[in-house]
């Protein structure tokens, strides 16, 4: 299994603010190509490439752009989502720091394709140095002569605001992110209307993840046909796998989808588990993805294969847990986090996460009963089916899958409980 | 971190050009990062400039972990 660095290959090859260095290394070929074929053909090309969103939900990027481009309302907005708050996910930072001009080029192409007047990049507030870098980068970009400058009548085509996130996990969800930019409480929203119809300030808005955006210039410079040859037929391209947890070497590895198995990723790139014991469980798509048991780690690294195994590729944040850990403790840790971060807009998530946390804590301290397990299942399923946004629909998945896969761990803590 | 002063705040306003709802969140973030909190007079002034109510801005700011309305450690 070998990396194929179509996105991360240029990382660190030029000084982050050096636009000439980027250009000398083949930069802006995608943007030039986009300007030559026009917005509609750009969207067609992205649709043909089969690119889907890399922020967790996997929505087809070309279709999203087309929906926004079709809307008549002006102005339109483009937002690059660099909030990246999901547990076990740290791939966007690699791109933002290592090859910022690639991401900027993607933002310019996207804004051009959908006809956005103003664009934003919303960066996780914990990435302080990255925010500083991007503020300088925008100044440099306005000074530099970029392809496309002057075509919209303005001197520079770069109309990008760098926004530093203010410490809430939920702002990674697109509707909450939009509320935040409107100077409101960050909360999920009922859909439809979708942001592509009525988004920021009620205008058509496209929100894309950093990794998605980094794919855009690459697709346009190599062509959709070539791009489709990478990865599997259903999910073309590469994914940045963030390997963390109980492995010897954490890191971000760019692999074509379907090019290997979870086991190979853990063993070849992660150097195996920390203690050398076997793998007990893996969360393959960030902290809100369902667990796979150690027996399922031979599945291929594609969303399709991982879904068949019972989870999803999500953000490709692969968190490994080794044998000897109790699922109760792991789930308690996850619920501690999500319990703090529920935005409180809808009842199932707001109440459900607290009740589930209480039950898990009771179990963890050896005071749980078998009825508690049934309650956990019931509340979890309710949250999944009726929560407003992706967070409420997803945070119970690890709990539900843990109950399914590791019932013995829960039984063990119940057996300790005084009768 | 700098001590809040009207002159410094005025300079920040000048740097951003025209303050509107489109850049308010980013601007308030800069105020927070510069002074360590968002003073009451800034909420009132930005409300006047953007046409939003002070309560709307107050409501938004108090919902974020990284916004403060008082300087930390200042009671």
Average pLDDT in the B47-62 region? Answer: 97
| Smallest CA–CA distance from B20 into chain A, residue | A182
Query: What pLDDT is stored for residue A180 in this prediction?
Result: 97
Euclidean distance between the first and the last CA atom of chain B, given in angstroms as a whole number: 18
Please, is B60 exposed, middle or buried when counting C-beta atoms within 10 Å of its C-beta (0-12, 13-18, 19+)?
buried
pLDDT at A419: 64
Phi, psi angles (nearest 5°) of residue A309: -75, -10
- Residue A271 near chain B (CB below 8 Å): no
User: What's the CA gap between A319 and A250, in Å, rounded?
Assistant: 10
Q: Given this model, what pLDDT does residue A100 score?
A: 97
Residue A29 sits at φ, ψ, to 5 deg, of -65, -40
CATH of domain A19-228: 3.40.50.11540
Q: Count CA within 13 A, CB hemisphere, residue B13.
A: 13
Average pLDDT for A355-362: 97
Distance from CA of B6 to the nearest CA of A (A): 23
Nearest CA in chain A to B55: A184
Distances (CA, A) of A387 to A331, A342, A381: 20, 11, 10
What is the pLDDT confidence band of residue A19, given thresholds at 50, 70 and 90?
very high
Q: What CATH number matches the domain at A327-416, 1.20.1440.230, 3.40.50.150, 1.10.287.3510, 1.20.1260.10?
A: 1.20.1440.230
With CB atoms and an 8 Å threshold, state whether B66 touches A167.
Answer: yes
Domain extents in chain B:
6-61
Encode pLDDT of A301-358 as tens digits: 999 999 999 999 999 999 999 999 999 999 999 999 999 999 999 999 999 999 999 9
CATH number of A238-322: 3.10.20.600
- Both tokens of A298, joined, read 């031979």
- Residues of chain A found within 8 Å of residue B33, distances taken between Cβ atoms: 164
pLDDT band at A155 (very low <50, low <70, confident <90, very high): low
pLDDT at B72: 83
Identify whether the C-beta of residue B68 lies closer than 8 Å to the C-beta of residue B34.
Answer: no
Q: Is pLDDT of A154 > 70?
A: no
Q: What percent of chain B has pLDDT over 90?
A: 92
- Partner A contacted by B2 (CB < 8 A): no
Whether residue A109 contacts residue A28, with contact meaning beta carbons closer than 8 Å, is answered with no
Distance CA A391, CA A402 (A): 18
| Crossing angle for the helix pair B21-35 and B6-16, to the nearest 10 degrees | 140
Q: Looking at residue A164, what is its pLDDT?
A: 97
Q: Is residue A38 scored above 90 in pLDDT?
A: yes
In this prediction, residues A10-22 reach a mean pLDDT of 94
Closest-CA distance of chain B to residue A183, Å: 5
Place of tokens 């920040």: B12
Q: Can you give the pLDDT at residue A129?
A: 97
Residue with tokens 């930072």: A93
Tell me the per-residue pLDDT of A207-219, one tens digit each, with 9 for 90 and over: 999 999 999 999 9
Q: Which of A118, A125, A181 minimises the CB distance to B25?
A: A181
Instruction: Indicate if the alpha-carbon torsion angle A309, A314, A319, A325 is positive or negative.
Output: negative
pLDDT at residue A152, as a whole number: 59
Q: What is the pLDDT of residue A216?
A: 98
DSSP code, position B11 = H
Mutate to test the interface with A, among B26, B33, B56 (most CBs of A within 10 A): B26
Token pair listed for A87: 């547990």
pLDDT digits (tens, 9 = 90+) for A164-176: 999 999 999 999 9
pLDDT at residue A136 in the model: 97
Q: What is the pLDDT of residue A148?
A: 80
C-alpha to C-alpha distances, A369 to A334, A355, A357, A363, nearest whole angstrom: 21, 15, 15, 7
CA distance A56 to A400: 19
Average pLDDT of chain A? 95
CA-to-CA separations, A222 to A31, A237, A417, in angstroms, rounded: 12, 12, 61
How far A161 CA lies from chain B's nearest CA (Å)?
8
The answer to whether residues A272 and A322 touch, using CB atoms and an 8 Å cutoff, is: no
Q: Strand ranges (DSSP E) for chain B?
A: none
CA A47 distance to own-chain centroid: 20
The residues that bridge with A284 in the sheet, in sequence order, are A286
Please check whether residue A182 touches B, CB under 8 A.
Answer: yes
Would you kindly state where each structural domain of chain A is located, as residue ranges? 19-228, 238-322, 327-416
pLDDT tens-digit map of A222-270? 999 999 999 999 999 999 999 999 999 999 999 999 999 999 999 999 9
The Cα of A118 is separated from the nearest Cα of chain B by a number of Å equal to 9
Residues 6+ apart with CB under 8 A from B56: A183, A184, B47
Query: A126 exposed, middle or buried (CB, 10 Å; 0-12, 13-18, 19+)?
Result: middle
Q: DSSP letter for A300, please.
A: B
**pLDDT confidence band for A147 (50 / 70 / 90):** confident
Alpha-carbon gap, residue A364 to A414, rounded angstroms: 9
**Are the Cβ atoms of A183 and B63 closer than 8 angstroms?**
no
pLDDT digits (tens, 9 = 90+) for A100-124: 999 999 999 999 999 998 999 999 9
Is ipTM over 0.85? yes
Q: Is A181 on the interface with B (CB under 8 A)?
A: yes
What gap in Å lies between CA A296 and CA A312, rounded to an integer? 13
């Amino acid at each position: 299994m070998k990396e194929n660095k179509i996105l991360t290959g240029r990382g660190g090859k030029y000084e982050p603010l050096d636009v000439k260095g980027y250009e000398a290394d083949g930069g802006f070929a995608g943007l030039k190509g986009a300007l030559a074929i026009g917005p509609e053909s750009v969207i067609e090309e992205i649709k043909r490439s089969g690119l889907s969103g890399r922020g967790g939900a996997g929505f087809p990027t070309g279709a999203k752009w087309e929906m926004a481009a079709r809307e008549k309302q002006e102005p339109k907005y483009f937002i690059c989502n660099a909030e990246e708050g999901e547990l076990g996910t740290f791939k966007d930072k690699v791109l933002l720091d290592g090859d910022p001009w690639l991401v900027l080029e993607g933002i310019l192409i996207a804004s051009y394709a959908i006809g956005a007047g103003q664009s934003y990049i919303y960066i996780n507030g914990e990435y302080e140095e990255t925010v500083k870098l991007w503020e300088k980068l925008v100044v440099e970009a306005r000074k530099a002569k970029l392809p496309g400058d002057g075509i919209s009548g303005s001197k520079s085509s770069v109309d990008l605001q760098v926004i530093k996130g203010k410490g809430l996990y939920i702002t990674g969800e697109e509707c909450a992110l939009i509320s935040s930019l409107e100077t409101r409480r960050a909360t999920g929203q009922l859909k439809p209307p979708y942001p592509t119809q009525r988004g920021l300030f009620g205008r058509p808005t496209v929100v894309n993840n950093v990794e998605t955006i980094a794919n855009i210039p690459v697709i346009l410079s190599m062509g959709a046909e070539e791009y489709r040859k990478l990865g599997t037929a259903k999910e073309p391209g590469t994914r940045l796998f963030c390997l963390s947890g109980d492995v010897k070497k954490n890191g971000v590895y760019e692999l074509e989808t379907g090019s290997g198995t979870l086991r190979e990723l853990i063993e070849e790139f992660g150097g195996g588990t920390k203690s050398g014991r076997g793998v007990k469980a893996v969360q393959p798509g960030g902290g809100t993805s369902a667990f796979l048991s150690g027996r399922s780690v031979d599945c291929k690294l594609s969303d399709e294969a991982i879904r068949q195994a019972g989870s999803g590729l999500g953000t490709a944040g692969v968190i490994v847990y080794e044998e000897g850990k109790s699922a109760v403790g792991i789930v308690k840790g996850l619920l501690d986090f999500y319990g703090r971060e529920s935005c409180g807009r809808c009842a199932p998530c707001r109440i459900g996460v607290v009740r589930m946390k209480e039950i898990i804590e009771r179990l963890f301290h050896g005071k749980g009963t078998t009825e508690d397990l049934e309650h956990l299942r019931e509340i979890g399923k309710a949250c999944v089916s009726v929560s407003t946004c992706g967070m409420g629909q997803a945070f119970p998945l690890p709990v539900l899958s843990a109950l399914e896969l590791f019932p013995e761990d829960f039984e063990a803590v119940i057996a300790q409980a005084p009768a | 971190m700098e001590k809040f002063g009207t002159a410094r705040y005025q300079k920040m306003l000048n740097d951003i050009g025209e303050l509107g709802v489109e850049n308010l969140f980013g601007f308030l973030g800069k105020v927070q990062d510069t002074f360590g909190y968002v003073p009451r007079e800034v909420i009132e002034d930005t409300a006047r400039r953007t046409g939003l109510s002070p309560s709307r801005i107050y409501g938004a700011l108090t919902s974020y972990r990284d916004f403060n309305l008082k300087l930390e450690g200042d009671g």
